[in-house]
Amino acid sequence: MVILPVKRDSPWIMRGRVSCLLSISRQIALELSKRILVNGRSGRPIRAIGLPCYHGPTPPRPSSFRPDRSGPARRCVMTPTALYWLFALAITVHNIEEGLFLPAYAGAVPRLAGRVSPFAFRFALVVVTAAAYVVVAFAAAGSPYAAQLLAGVAMVMIVNAVVPHLALTLIFRRYAPGTGTALCIMLPLSLLVIVNGFAAGALTGNALLLASLIVAATLLVAIPLLFSAGRYAERHMPWLSANGAT
């Protein structure tokens, strides 16, 4: 394997890129907050917690969106179920970016090279993504415990956007794969999942803290085990890692 030299950008260029990503993340959060329905039963708009509401004509939307007539003008708002599935889709996009580009990035950085094989890393990503869909399915079905656990996932993803993604980008002065989707997609959607839980009365500060600790502890234990399982599958099931999977 050829180790490529790490290209470092100047601090001013890197600061401008990070500032641009954070600005995009803020704009996405504001745009989504105009359409999010914080309480699917009462239809209470998100203005009650200080975020802006949309007051324009209702455009055509798919079935996951429905008009809200609680205000002076009709608005098109998203149900919590649609938000949950959008969050799962965002996790998928984020993990795809990591799976495609992070192994090569780690191989080009001497301090990160050789810690885990590309196949084992992608194997763990697939399992973690599937587990996220299971939690989302239960939350969308109305389970309050799954909704709280999903808020814990959202809090972990917020931390994940900063450490390691943003931290690696700043330390090595080189774009770390996953930073863009983490800051521009995962960060605003994670905040909206948490805000939705508080506004709907399904989440408290203690519940969020407990759910975040459970998710973080589970990932800290599960990820090394998944890496080991991926290495085992790579050695004993070569057909599974064929066709360039590694």
Q: What is the pLDDT of residue 40?
A: 43
Q: What is the pLDDT of residue 110?
A: 77
Q: What is the pLDDT of residue 69?
A: 52
Q: What is the pLDDT of residue 11?
A: 56
The predicted model scores a pTM of 0.72
- Give the contacts of 134 (CB within 8 A, at least 6 positions apart): none
Q: What is the pLDDT of residue 24?
A: 64
Helix locations, 34-113, DSSP H: 80-108
Q: Do 186 and 92 touch, CB atoms closer than 8 A?
A: no
Question: What is the crossing angle of helices 205-236 and 118-140, to 10°?
Answer: 140
Q: What is the pLDDT of residue 44?
A: 43
Q: What is the pLDDT of residue 159?
A: 97
- Dihedral over Cα of 140, 146, 147, 153: its sign: negative
Q: What is the pLDDT of residue 115?
A: 80
Q: Do 217 and 211 touch, CB atoms closer than 8 A?
A: no
- Give the contacts of 156 (CB within 8 A, at least 6 positions apart): 212, 215, 216, 219
Q: Helix or strand or coil: residue 132? A: helix
What one-letter code names the amino acid at 86? L
Tokens of 20: 């641009």
Q: What is the pLDDT of residue 60?
A: 44
Q: Report the 10 Å Cβ neighbour count for 18.
A: 15
Return per-residue pLDDT of the chain as tens, 246 residues: 444 444 555 555 556 665 666 666 666 666 665 555 444 444 443 333 333 333 444 444 444 445 555 555 445 567 999 999 999 999 999 999 999 999 999 888 877 777 889 999 999 999 999 999 999 999 999 999 999 999 999 999 999 999 999 999 999 889 999 999 999 999 999 999 999 999 989 899 999 999 999 999 999 999 999 999 999 998 888 777 654 444
